[in-house]
Amino acid sequence: MANFITMGEPLVVFASQDSDISLDKSLHFQKFLAGAELNVAIGMHRLGHETMYVSKVGDDILGKFIVDSIKEIGLDSSNLLIDNQFFTGFYFKQKVSKGDPKVYYYRKDSAASNIHSKEIDPSKIKEVKVAHLTGIMAALSETSLQTLKDFNEELNAHQILTIFDPNLRPALWESTEKMINVTNDLARNSAIVLPGINEGKILMGSSDPEKIADFYLNQSKLTHTVIVKLGAEGAFVKLQSGENYYVPGFKVQEVVDTVGAGDGFAVGLESALLEGKPLNIAVHRACAIGALAVQSAGDSEGYPNREQLSEFYKRQNYQGDL
């Protein structure tokens, strides 16, 4: 039975292989699984954790690709629904030699944006200890927002550790104001909040990691820890007790693609917490998997298995997470 759970929209990404060429002109694409929460689920499974992925796809070729891949990987798909009324979302990703790739989504009114709480079987979450939630489901539609809220409530009722990544997708929201209000409101219902430094700026107006952390700690009694992701610089951690510290990032040889790094960060943190590691070690692992993620082209292809993680630690001369 799964001890880790996440819910989100699975996507197929067509990643351009033609560097710095706009997507309308690109001719060569590689097809990968994508979707922030699915990336996290794959990463958790790769590290040996039984993972349930909750979602809905259309009864179409991309849905089939996703369902077949998820089954082949070995995720628990007992709450993965197929609906012939809706299509499966996908996106195109431009390859860039510098910075973040441009992305174009085709996901409005997709199957996942039409998932209802009553379609999810809650009896399957009995053994779950840690859950990963993001603001993406909230951005897709009023239906998926409600489903996310109900899901969050169910997790909290079962005293499951909830971890919320805002994962801002401005292109999916009808207004910035709504994105900010809904996202901050959702964060209130999680024990750990994981804003990126740039997201913090948008969501509460400051680029100071400590101010961002204080904002989330002060707005809810449920939130006991905030971890602000600082990209290559690592992360800033602050607890409800006031204790706070920085965790440095790991060195990266070559950045191939930054998409999926935040999800990799979550995989590191959540896998280590599930294994009972102390928080500071979990944040080191988060930084390690974030660093590994940016060194490959797919969204989740860079996430390591156990062996690859220890090899990475060896190369970096890091012995804290043994």
| Residue ranges that bind ligand KDG, judged by CB under 6 A | 11, 34-36, 39, 136, 169, 259-260, 262-263, 299
CA quadruple 108, 112, 115, 117: dihedral positive or negative? Answer: negative
Q: Classify residue 259 by burial, with Cβ atoms within 10 Å: 0-12, 13-18, 19+.
A: buried
Choose between 173 and 313: whose C-beta lies nearer to ligand KDG.
Answer: 173
Closest to ligand KDG by CB, 263 vs 270, is: 263
Q: Give least dist CB 218 to ligand KDG, A.
A: 27
Q: Which residues pair with 33 in a beta bridge?
A: 12
Rg of the Cα trace of the chain?
18
Pick 15 or 217: Cβ nearer ligand KDG: 15
Q: Which residue is nearest to ligand KDG (CB)?
A: 34
The helix/strand/coil state of 112 is: helix
Output the smallest distance, CB 298 to ligand KDG, in A: 9
Q: How many CB atoms lie within 10 A of CB 178?
A: 12
Whose Cβ is closer to ligand KDG: residue 93's or residue 238's?
Answer: 93
CB of 148 to ligand KDG, least distance (A): 14
Distance CA 207, CA 147 (A): 31
> Considering the complex, what minimum distance in angstroms separates the CB of residue 253 from ligand KDG?
21
Active-site residue 263, yes or no?
A: yes
Task: Compute φ and ψ for 185, nearest 5 degrees.
Answer: -65, -40
**Shortest Å, Cβ 139 to ligand KDG:** 8
Q: Please, which residue, 200 or 217, has the CB nearer to ligand KDG?
A: 200
171 burial (CB, 10 Å; 0-12 / 13-18 / 19+) is exposed
Which is it for strands 4-7 and 130-134: parallel, antiparallel or unpaired? parallel
119, containing H or E segment: none
For residue 213, which amino acid is it?
A
Place of tokens 């996942």: 112
Looking at 76, 165, 263, 299, which residue is catalytic?
263
Catalytic residue positions, numbered: 263
